[in-house]
Structure 1
Amino acid sequence: MSQPSSWPLSVDSIRFVIPRRIVEALARHPLSEQLYPLGIGYYQHARGHRMQRDRHDDYLLIYCIEGRGRIETDGRNRRIRPGDLVLLPRGHSHRYETDAREPWTIYWVHFDGPRADDFIAALEPDPQSPLIPLGIHSRLVADFEALIDARQASHNLAAFVHCANQLRQLLTHIALLRPIAKRQADDSLDLEKVHSLMQARLHEQLDVGTLAAAVSLSKYHFIKKYKALTGTTPINHFIHLKIERACHLLDVTTKGVNEVAWAVGYEDAYYFSRIFKKSMGISPTQYRRIRLGEIGYKG
């Protein structure tokens, strides 16, 4: 893997370098040998983040969902905006950094494998630019979040094989979105941007003012437009996404209810359980018992 950034992580940011022993096993495993991740991360409001690589020996994908930055490749500088993907194949020296006034929030993944070039080719990149202006897509944010979940796998090879195949899904999802990625120049509400911010902040609280500011609307007009388009309020949808995430954690981890509550932004486990039951009709403990086969879907 190319040298990772030495940027000091903030509290809400993640950098996960996959252990070399696991990478070597992925490179040999028949279900992952063609394409596998090397490192995965999420940097939130990454003030001061910058990186320069004169030697780049893997593949790097960066997805900017907030803020701005710039990148220099082949002697040319380009601005990076929300919704831009940055694709850096091996062998290309580069330098990138966040904007000083509007620090970016990004997902990133370093990856490798003998079929990596084929997956990149499917994205139809511009040979003159590393940028793919894809736009903000909440499902793509969820794809990156699924990759980041691999850090909970400890040294379980099966979990990392699954992660490698989630990387395939992410890249093929981008290929699916690429032909229809157009920047809309009208004044309609950008739901994808709003929902992507929600997905990225599931582990914390998020107020209506922040969501409204992200799409340059007052709180009143934002709530009105959002409800007209979706039939619900932005906060109700955000809670729904949190409960979906909580269900996933109850399904795939052994975290206690307190830990799950904390992971989706609730410090009070009792309050979280009330919200969960209101949404799902059963408590978090009962939900997990269904997964374990101790009770049926109907109780």
Structure 2
Amino acid sequence: MSQPSTWPLPAGSSRVVLPLQLTRQLDQHPLTKHLYPVAYGHYVDALGHQVERQQHTDHLLIFCHRGRGWFRTHNASGSVEAGQLLLLPAGQAHAYAADHEQPWSIYWAHFRGSAAVQCSDFLSLSAQSPVLTLSRWRQLIPVVTDLLNLQTQRYQFSAAIVAASLLQRIIAELPRLTSAMQIPAGFDLRALERFMYDNSHRDISLDEFSEFAGLSRYHFSKKFKQITGSSPMRFFNQIKVKLACQLLDTTTYSIRQIGQQLGFDDPYYFSRLFKKTMGISPQYYRESSHMTHSQTNLLNPQQGR
């Protein structure tokens, strides 16, 4: 297998490499042998991400949803912008990297199968023109989310079969998403929520959320409030506080470090926001959580064993 890059994963990123034994099973199973993933993931703001391969045994899809990058093969070279997909067939030496000024955020998948070689023709791509522009790519976010959420079950064969079916669906959907049809006056809340979780380490503006949804600031805020009962920024901050609670429960990071991981440079602002949302300070939340856990272990001594 062409190993994925070992680029260090920042907050919000993920990488799944299926074990060799599992991919061999997928290569033999009637439901998956025509097309299945061997690795996949999501790199967020991938500054410094760069790969060069002379030997390439897998097919590789790279979809850029923010920022930009570049690629080079023997037959073509160019940039990959937000909303564009790059397909690199097996056997083709290549290089690619994130842009230094606007590093890309990408979904990617290494894949194989008896039908994998037909993907270029299916997507109307060629060695000279390996980039596809998707005008309605956000419709695929729920399927991509389901695929990424399988990472906790990646060593289970049943989950691997589901991963193969989701990758097949993603590729099957791509041609119809190239149409320049007008974006509907609304948005997929599930896709937007995934976007918020993926970018929980950043300080995102309302403009960026409305751009993701394909609406003006006014119509986006109005529609969001109608659906959720909350403003977009308040909803986003609630997600950050939820993630902060998880970090307070499971790590020994300082309050400042947790705030920085969630895009807050000012620890005092982070603490005020946390207290406004939870009713208590981050420090008191951590102390109360640890005290409750200790009391539970005293009452149920077998749990800690």
> Which TM-score applies when normalising by structure 1?
0.68
Q: What SS does structure 2 have at the residue aligned with 1:125?
A: coil
Pairing of 1:57-96 with structure 2 (within 5 A) = 57-74=57-74, 76-96=76-96
Quote how far apart the aligned CAs of 1:228 are. 6.2
Q: For residues 172 and 216 of structure 1, do their structure 2 counterparts lie closer, same or farther at Cα, with a shift above 3 Å needed?
A: closer
Q: What SS does structure 2 have at the residue aligned with 1:57?
A: coil
What residue number does 2:217 align with? 223
Quote how far apart the aligned CAs of 1:225 are. 3.3
What residue number does 2:48 align with? 48
Deviations, residues 30-61 of structure 1 (Å, cap 9, x unaligned): 21111110001110001111111111111100
Give the aligned residue type for 2:80: I
Is the CA contact 2:59–2:112 (under 8 Å) kept in the aligned structure 1?
yes
Q: Give the Cα separation in 1 of the matches to 2:6 and 2:202.
A: 31
Quote how far apart the aligned CAs of 1:109 are. 0.5
Is the CA contact 2:71–2:77 (under 8 Å) kept in the aligned structure 1?
yes
Quote how far apart the aligned CAs of 1:163 are. 0.9
Q: What SS does structure 2 have at the residue aligned with 1:39?
A: strand
Q: Give the Cα separation in 1 of the matches to 2:186 and 2:129.
A: 28
Q: Which runs of 5+ in 1 are unaligned?
A: 244-256, 273-299
Tell me whether 1:139 sits opposite 2:139 in the alignment. yes
Quote how far apart the aligned CAs of 1:215 are. 6.5
Q: Give the Cα separation in 2 of the matches to 1:205 and 1:8.
A: 18
What residue number does 2:284 align with? none
Give the aligned residue type for 1:21: Q
Q: For residues 57 and 193 of structure 1, do their structure 2 counterparts lie closer, same or farther at Cα, with a shift above 3 Å needed?
A: farther
Q: For residues 215 and 80 of structure 1, do their structure 2 counterparts lie closer, same or farther at Cα, with a shift above 3 Å needed?
A: farther
Is the CA contact 1:194–1:211 (under 8 Å) kept in the aligned structure 2?
no
What residue number does 1:16 align with? 16
Q: For residues 208 and 236 of structure 1, do their structure 2 counterparts lie closer, same or farther at Cα, with a shift above 3 Å needed?
A: farther
Q: For residues 258 and 97 of structure 1, do their structure 2 counterparts lie closer, same or farther at Cα, with a shift above 3 Å needed?
A: closer
Deviations, residues 194-233 of structure 1 (Å, cap 9, x unaligned): 985653333564899524047679xxx9431324677748
Give the aligned residue type for 1:162: V
Q: For residues 195 and 94 of structure 1, do their structure 2 counterparts lie closer, same or farther at Cα, with a shift above 3 Å needed?
A: farther
What residue number does 1:122 align with? 122
Q: Which moved more, 1:225-234 or 1:58-67?
A: 225-234
What residue number does 1:170 align with? 170
Q: For residues 222 and 127 of structure 1, do their structure 2 counterparts lie closer, same or farther at Cα, with a shift above 3 Å needed?
A: same
Q: What SS does structure 2 have at the residue aligned with 1:45?
A: coil
Give the aligned residue type for 2:34: Q
Give the aligned residue type for 2:23: V
State which structure, 1 or 2, has the greater radius of gyration over its C-alpha atoms.
2
Q: What SS does structure 1 have at the residue aligned with 2:169?
A: helix
Q: Percent identity?
A: 28
Name segments (4+ residues, structure 1) moved above 6 Å: 188-195, 214-217, 228-231
Q: What SS does structure 1 have at the residue aligned with 2:135?
A: coil
Deviations, residues 131-172 of structure 1 (Å, cap 9, x unaligned): 101135222222222222221114221111111111111111
Is the CA contact 2:206–2:217 (under 8 Å) kept in the aligned structure 1?
no
Quote how far apart the aligned CAs of 1:191 are. 6.7
Quote how far apart the aligned CAs of 1:190 are. 9.4
Q: Give the Cα separation in 2 of the matches to 1:77 and 1:132.
A: 14
Q: What SS does structure 1 have at the residue aligned with 2:64?
A: strand
Q: Which moved more, 1:189-198 or 1:112-121?
A: 189-198
Q: What SS does structure 2 have at the residue aligned with 1:202?
A: helix
Q: Give the Cα separation in 1 of the matches to 2:47 and 2:160.
A: 31
Tell me whether 1:200 sits opposite 2:200 in the alignment. no
Give the aligned residue type for 1:165: S
Q: What SS does structure 2 have at the residue aligned with 1:72?
A: strand
Counterpart among 193, 205, 214 of residue 210 in structure 1: 205
Give the aligned residue type for 1:177: L
User: Which structure shows the higher helix fraction?
Assistant: 2
Q: For residues 3 and 28 of structure 1, do their structure 2 counterparts lie closer, same or farther at Cα, with a shift above 3 Å needed?
A: same
